[in-house]
Amino acid sequence: MIIKTHLRNTTIKALCESMTVQTMVKLARECIPDYNLHTQTGFPASISIPTADAAKQIVEDICRYKLFPQFVQLLIRAQNIGFKGRKYPIAYLSYIIHGIQTHGYVFDSEKNMFIEDPRRHKSSNWGVLREGVEYNMTFLRFDISGNSRLVRSYPEKKIKKAYQDLFSIITAAVEKRNGRVWNLQGDGGLLAFCFFKKDLSAVLAAVESLHELFLYNKNGCPLQEGLKVRFAVHAGVYIYNTNMEALKKNETIKELIEMENKFTTPNSITISNKVFISLDKRIADLFEPLAQRSHNTLFGYALELEL
């Protein structure tokens, strides 16, 4: 994300008019730990740095580290909630927010952070998740039941079309709710949600996919018996990493895989208790208690397909 000069200059001006150099540095250290303004500017430690020089250097460094949206989030928090026990009215803040939006970002009021506008970009990290940082996320996993038998029973061309159609159905249901496709493999995949009522979004994506699959099996599937798919939804902590091997080692993902493998029947959805308790009653009522796994109750929703 390249920040335009005019937006940088407005942010510099906002810092100068809204806070002291000490406060600027404290804000910068929220984004860049151990940030040393004297080292960055070249001023001797014994000399006070002029306000304008300090603001200019901090904004330049924030942009160089590609942390401008995160820094503006801090400014919003400083004004609305407070920073270090005090609220700071930030000059030109509405203009700065608008400037970020013109760069393809929207502000998520639930998370109090900027994420990429899904109408313009759809990257796997929503444009803001950072490697090694911990996030609360919700995951949707799906798997095609009887994959090996299907592959043996039907021509490759029919299998390829059916699977591609299924992936398209699920991808559409996920991306319309600002979810992201993290992995699509031969007979299944993993989808991720991090914003905008993530638990509800993941469950609705699964329900919609299951219903669309019913219609597809009735009207368009090239496989005579149709496709049978298992869906599972679980939420938990994830330390963001683009490496798939690291993904498989995550405890939330391990539990999700177990839910799908052991407790989910074909053409059904299994959700964890953690997801269930966050749902609107109207959606939660679709699900019935399933099995007791350790101390966590699982809930299921099944759709019988009559072909």
User: 262-282 pLDDT, tens per residue?
Assistant: 999 999 999 999 999 999 999
Q: Where in the chain is the domain with CATH 3.30.70.1230?
A: 134-302
Residue 118, pLDDT above cutoff 60: yes
Give the mean pLDDT of the chain. Answer: 91
Q: For position 174, what pLDDT does the model report?
A: 95
CA separation for the pair 84, 101 (Å, rounded): 27
Which tens digit of pLDDT belongs to each residue from 70-92?
Answer: 999 999 999 999 999 999 999 99
User: What mean pLDDT comes out for the span 293-297?
Assistant: 64
Distance CA 120, CA 213 (A): 28
| Vertex 2 angle, CA 182 and 9, to 5° | 140
Model pLDDT, residue 248: 82
**Which has more confidence, 281 or 243?**
281
The boundaries of every CATH 1.10.533 domain in the chain are 5-103
Question: Considering the chain, what percentage of its residues have pLDDT values greater than 90?
Answer: 75
Which among 149, 167, 151 is positioned nearest to 159, based on CA atoms? 151
Mean pLDDT of 102-110: 83
Q: Supply the DSSP string of 167-217, one letter for each residue.
A: HHHHHHHHHTTT-EEEEEETTEEEEEE-SSSHHHHHHHHHHHHHHHHHHHH
If one compares 150 and 117, the residue with the highest pLDDT of the two is: 150
134-302: CATH topology: Alpha-Beta Plaits (3.30.70)
Query: Which of the four pLDDT bands, split at 50, 70 and 90, describes residue 185?
Result: confident
What pLDDT, on the 0 to 100 scale, is given for residue 113? 81
Q: What is the pLDDT of residue 11?
A: 97
- Confidence at residue 30, expressed as pLDDT on a 0 to 100 scale: 94
- Reading the block at residue 220, the tokens are 């368009």
Write phi, then psi, for 83 (nearest 5 degrees): -140, 125
- pLDDT number for residue 249: 87
Section 22-26 average pLDDT: 96
Residue 293 pLDDT greater than 80, yes or no: no
> For residue 307, what pLDDT is reported?
45
**Position 292 pLDDT exceeds 70:** no
- Residue 122: what pLDDT? 82
CA distance 91 to 19: 10
Distance separating alpha carbons of residues 187 and 118, to the nearest angstrom = 27
**What pTM value is reported for the model?**
0.79
Per-residue confidence band for 8, with pLDDT thresholds at 50, 70 and 90 = very high
Tokens standing for 207?
A: 């329900």
* Reported confidence tier of residue 132, pLDDT bands at 50, 70, 90: confident
Please tell me the CATH code under which domain 5-103 is placed.
1.10.533
Q: Is the pLDDT of residue 93 over 60?
A: yes
